[in-house]
Amino acid sequence: MRDESKPAYLEQLTERLDKRTAVIGIIGLGYVGLPLTLRYSEAGFRVLGIDIDGAKIERLNRGESYINHIKAADIARARERGFEATSDFTRAGEPDALIICVPTPLNAYREPDLSFVLDTADALLPFMRPGQVLSLESTTYPGTTDEELKPRLESRGFLIGRDVFLVFSPEREDPGNPNFHTRTIPKVCGGVTPACLEAGIALYSPAIDKVVPVSSTRAAELTKLLENIHRAVNIGLVNEMKIIADRMDIDIHEVIRAAATKPFGFTPYYPGPGLGGHCIPIDPFYLTWKAREYGLHTRFIELAGEINSDMPHWVIGKVTDALNRRGKSVMGSRVLVLGIAYKKDVEDMRESPSVEMMEILREKGAVVDYADPHVPSFPRMREHYFDLKSVELDPQSIASYDVVLLATAHSGFDYELIRQYAALVVDTRGVYPTSLPNVVKA
């Protein structure tokens, strides 16, 4: 019997989602969208993936993967279950749910760049139909869903919460994390109306173990920012502590290990050469920008951002000092950067501090190479490029460099081999103890 209190389109949508006869549309098949695609396929849904990258579409439709930690066999299984990738936005009316997973970078002035989100929404809107739920997963400032997507849907004559349903549910992917996966990471969800929230819960519940409803899309948007600002601020703190400890000739990694033995009131964060990835270096500035609308200045967040942004330069200062003590200058020195992905055991180079350090070294006249088992050739990036391929690590190649800069501590590196044959190692990740004669902590 039909529930008269529930909008007809909502009842039809939730029934299709519950029975897994709904079609799920994922827009943006990158580090967020592709794992979500595979999870919905695994949960028994037919998935239509939409992306503007034609090469990516071709590979997926051949059952191939372009992300290291995602297996081709998983793509092939999804294809067997009905997954299809396309660049055709006119098919946006086919799915019952549309989930936007596109980048939200910063522009040259460190202000939010919503062009990917808004261009995607504008491409979908002409082909949307009543009865669909639209979910935004891209990290953004509080108010984006209400202020940008809601008016666009209403301009088509849709009544939000009756004809179509609009939610925000922030992505929480952690590429390369062996302990948590798309299914097991709880999913925060906020709706524009109570009916929208009900649609969002119905959308995610079949695929995610735990859905966490919040009162609004703004609360959901701010939840994601708080998660990443929490990390950025604490990493900024421990990076500042590293600088202090270095001046005092104390090993900060030893201090962190000792502090982490306290069973309450302390969470260990680890220093490094700077922040990388698509979230932590970027997301805090979304809130900083939005807070100005309310006459507020996020001094604490901005200070952490300054500290983290300065770390690549501080590390290169340590490289310079270490070379000087050996009678060498940076200019003309051969430098091997170990690891150019932004984090351990992934190939993702977005916002990688390794690349910034490579550019600083190049500007200072160093001859720069890199070794990274996850990045065989340096890819073309919007802002950076080196015409390089990853160096094979053997005794002869390691010994040929004046300094080895350990930037990303991939599991695949043979650290004993590196230590044994390197003339000098500058270690930004605490891999080596401080007592080694050819190792400098940074």
What's the CA gap between 119 and 95, in Å, rounded? 19
Helix (H, G, I), strand (E, B) or coil at 26: strand
β-strand pairing of 187-191 with 165-168:
antiparallel
Please state the length of the chain: 442
Query: Are 140 and 117 contacting, i.e. CB atoms less than 8 angstroms apart?
Result: yes
Here the tokens at position 236 are: 């900024």
**Which has the closest alpha carbon to 32: 180, 137, 157?**
137
Q: Is 76 exposed, middle or buried (0-12, 13-18, 19+ CB in 10 A)?
A: middle
Strand ranges across the sheet with 97-100: 84-86, 46-50, 23-27, 97-100, 133-136, 165-168, 187-191, 211-213
Query: Are 76 and 63 contacting, i.e. CB atoms less than 8 angstroms apart?
Result: yes
What's the CA gap between 421 and 399, in Å, rounded? 5
279 catalytic residue (yes or no): yes
What's the CA gap between 405 and 428, in Å, rounded? 8
CA distances to 207, 249, 406 from 356, rounded to whole Å, are 38, 26, 14
Task: For the chain, report the end-to-end CA distance as a whole number of angstroms.
Answer: 67
Here the tokens at position 265 are: 């009131």
Q: Is 95 exposed, middle or buried (0-12, 13-18, 19+ CB in 10 A)?
A: buried
Strand ranges across the sheet with 334-338: 367-371, 334-338, 403-406, 425-427, 439-441
Catalytically annotated residues: 279
